[in-house]
A and B are shown apart, each in its own frame.
Chain A
Amino acid sequence: MNEVQKLKFYQKGTLTVGNRLVDEDKRNVQASLDRSNSLTSGHRACQGCGEALGARYAIDAAMRACDSRLIAVNATGCLEVFTTPYPETSWQIPWMHSLFGNAAAVATGVAAAMRVLGKSQTRVVAQGGDGGTTDIGFGCLSGMFERNDDVLYICYDNEGYMNTGVQRSSATPPAARTATTPAVGSAPGNVFGTGKFAPKIAVAHDIPYVATASVADLHDLEAKVLKAMTFRGARYIQINVPCPLGWGAASHDTIRLARLAIETGLFPIFEAESGYVTNVRKIRRPTPVFEYLKLQKRFAHIVRGGPEDPGVRGLQAIADRHIRDYGLLEAEA
């Protein structure tokens, strides 16, 4: 950006910097005529699907970074199902699905093949949802990390098993209603004190690059994928992708929800290199989590109790902890 444009130009009502207002070389991959369109139109994702949006931006950016020499491995899940009902496929790149829990290992195999066949310029990306990543695929993921295999793993985190009909995963937030954590009883919804934040565990593997990203900031998402592709070895990006169906939200609120997840502190956006956090995306004014929760039916049972509901307070405490732990608050001028 040139000197005059230190000012940020946001698109109305969003934090997205308008493409037309930045220099051409700063415009995003998606805005360019020569984008690869790796995940092309015609697929069967729901209206407002965060995962479809995240995947399109992420894979096109990865394609840009490796001169279109990319192979993708996909875990079982929504992304696999809605993109490839044979004989149709939305993937314009070599793409493979094997099983639910082995995407990271299959990607390791592809990367090994590229090395041994002397095609190391061809890069490998593995992708899956949070269930395929943080639960059933976690063993393979951790193995791929610790061996530092040359794979970029992208987790599209929609906080539950949406493909099988909205069940709880280890990425489901507490209090959320899912088919396996019903909103009944004295502690309705998912249990407080459970779950895991996989990016933190990825950082603990000391791999070259870990980042979180969001479909609310697609410039940042693309920048992180492009940056991840500059490293060799194991890399991990977890993208927060709201799911209108699973979250009980309006399709037009996908971006708004993703933005609120950032601004409340519930989904911290950061980067880490070789075990150390190197960058966090600051929040100017934290939004109370109630503003985020009230747009989603999965939290209706706690929203009903108002901002002082124990469930709401519990989630606020989680957001506050993220803000503290990751230093998310922008220093007052």
Chain B
Amino acid sequence: MFQQIEGSKAMARAIALCRPQVVCAYPITPQTHIVEGLGELIRTGELQNSEFINVESEFAALSVAIGASAAGARAYTATASQGLLFMAEAVYNASGLGLPIVMTLGNRAIGAPINIWNDHSDAMAMSESGWIQLFAETNQEAADLHVFAFRLAEELSVPTMVCVDGFILTHAVERIDIPEQATVDAFLPPFEPMQCLDPDDPISIGAMVGPDAFTEVRYLEYHKQHAALGLIERLATEFQRLFGRQAGGLLRTYEAADAEILVVAMGSINGTIKDAIDEMRADGMAIGLVTLVAFRPFPGDALRQVLARATDVVVIDRAIDVGMGGPLASDIAIAMRGLPAPPAMHSAIVGLGGRPVPKASLIRLFRQAAIQPWEGPHFLDLNERVVGHELHRRRTTRRVGPAAEGILKELEKERVARLAEEAQ
């Protein structure tokens, strides 16, 4: 049924339709509305047979989910940014134990400097943790991906993270089709655990493993993620058939068939990129888009096939691996390795800490990739004057104080100068 509804509330409704039996909640912006929504659905009785647990930290949130899942209950939690890092130890533990927990990640920057707005640094920080990571482009997909995620996680017994852009998706009110319970039930059977704490069949879970078997245990995890590549595609077909719309899958393309320039991106930014592409196509530029839905497992082969036809690939990273560059760009470089005529790759770092990414900036970026390519990562809309000033200050002064303060002071000077200019 279509509703005009906030993204978080829509996700809460979709998650409730998946009948999670234990929901662990700890507040952190911007995911809070999701667990608030679930809490309300449980209190009002719309979601029955579900325990809502207010915990004291994100570390506890995922730990409670771990206990619940190992005891045979369908477990769900949500977090963002610092919260994900605070539970990092449990994130690895859940995947190492093979517990099919589903977690929403309201993508948000990681401090310092503390910043509550959107980017993908949190998801990237856990990309090696053994969780499946799916990125939503729209709020419809954000809602649908949760249904998809529970099925995927439980079929393979791998924890799955649904990554949704903080504020841009979580707080946006849109027209969303909330699925019917019967359709969700048809797609998602009751949870049948692969391992379970059961007094009638006692087992020990989580014991010590030495060098004799650790590699093999990790290999099985790798193998499961690999198997997920095929399963994600099969489930996407099944989802389409049952729900009548697309959700999940490894990747999607837009105007890619004849494109010379292909943009690769994840999350909500794809909407703006499509608008930019429409405009550039009208100007006669052969440009297209690859929207990556599955970041882990990384669909290297599928990407290779799509990207092989292009002359230029622009990779949009909404995060920065500080000592390396764009994390998605690094992965795509590996995916393109060995192509007979690999396209030129251009890495762009955009939208950090909630920086808006306007269509005009993207168009400029894509044009530049074609006519005046750059080396290394390009920081979109970087205030070069302010950065230059701060770098100069650092060459001449030892005790410069916090970097963030220096930059903001300089921005303020810029603003005052602009006002003075306008006043004249």
Contact = CB atoms under 8 A, between A and B. Distances in A.
B60 A140 contact: yes
Nearest to B68: A109
Contacts of A71: 71, 197, 199
Contacts of A111: 67
A271 interface: no
A11 interface: no
B204 interface: yes
Interface in B18-73: 21-22, 24, 49-51, 53-57, 59-60, 63-73
Interface stretch (B112-120, B170-178, B206-214, B310-318): B206-214
Contacts of B198: 94
A110 B68 contact: yes
A30 interface: no
B349 interface: no
Interface in B357-382: none
Contact of A93 (B49, B202, B206): B202
Interface string B194-235: 000111011111111110010000000000000000000000
A98 B63 contact: yes
Given A89-B207, A102-B63, A117-B21, A109 B199 contact: no
Interface string A295-307: 0000000000000
Interface string A24-60: 0000000000000000000000000000000000000
A76 B387 CA distance: 47
B75 interface: yes
Interface stretch (B89-97, B139-147, B340-348, B397-405): B89-97
A94 B199 contact: yes
Given A98-B67, A99-B93, A89 B53 contact: no
Contact of B209 (A86, A91, A93, A115): A86
A142 B203 CA distance: 28
Contacts of B21: 113, 116-117
Contacts of B70: 96, 106, 109-110
A92 B97 CA distance: 20
Q: Most chain-A Cβ atoms within 10 A of its Cβ — which of B70, B207, B208?
A: B207
A85 B72 contact: no
A195 interface: no
Contacts of A68: 199
A101 B89 CA distance: 10
Interface residues of A, number: 42
Interface string A87-129: 0010111111111011001111111111111000010000000
B47 to A, nearest CB: 11
Contacts of B93: 98-99
A85 B199 contact: no
B92 to A, nearest CB: 9
A98 B22 CA distance: 18
Interface string A119-150: 00010000000000000000110110011000
B205 A92 contact: no
Interface string A57-76: 00000000000111101000
Contacts of A142: 56
A287 interface: no
B283 to A, nearest CB: 55
A116 B49 contact: yes
A274 interface: no
Given A71-B199, A86-B208, A102 B68 contact: no
A80 interface: yes
Given A105-B59, A139-B60, A73 B67 contact: yes
Query: What is the predominant secondary structure among interface residues of chain A facing chain B?
Result: mixed
B205 A140 contact: no
B54 A99 contact: no
B75 A109 contact: yes
A98 to B, nearest CB: 5
A99 B202 contact: no
A102 B50 contact: no
A102 B208 contact: no
A181 interface: no
Contacts of A86: 204, 207-209, 213
Interface in B237-292: none
A140 B63 CA distance: 9
Nearest to B217: A86
B199 A98 contact: no
A96 B63 contact: no
Interface string A191-206: 0000000000000000
A106 B208 contact: no
Contacts of A22: none
Q: Most chain-B Cβ atoms within 10 A of its Cβ — which of A70, A109, A143?
A: A109
A81 interface: yes
A16 interface: no
A232 to B, nearest CB: 15
A42 to B, nearest CB: 13
A84 interface: yes
A98 B90 CA distance: 8
B56 A98 contact: no
Contacts of A93: 199, 202
Contact of B207 (A97, A107, A117, A122): A97
Interface of B: 21-22, 24, 49-51, 53-57, 59-60, 63-73, 75, 89-90, 93, 97, 197-199, 201-210, 213
30 contacts: A69-B199, A70-B199, A80-B207, A81-B208, A91-B204, A94-B199, A94-B204, A95-B197, A95-B202, A95-B205, A96-B204, A98-B63, A101-B89, A102-B60, A106-B67, A107-B67, A109-B53, A109-B67, A109-B69, A112-B22, A112-B64, A113-B69, A113-B71, A114-B71, A116-B49, A117-B71, A139-B59, A140-B63, A147-B53, A147-B54
Counting from the closest, the 7 A-B pairs by CB-CB distance are A109-B67, A143-B56, A105-B63, A84-B207, A113-B71, A102-B63, A106-B67
Interface of A: 68-71, 73, 80-81, 84-86, 89, 91-99, 101-102, 105-117, 122, 139-140, 142-143, 146-147
Given A96-B206, A112-B22, 19 more contacts: A68-B199, A70-B199, A89-B204, A91-B202, A94-B201, A95-B202, A96-B70, A96-B204, A105-B55, A108-B64, A109-B65, A112-B51, A112-B64, A112-B67, A113-B71, A113-B72, A113-B75, A116-B51, A147-B53
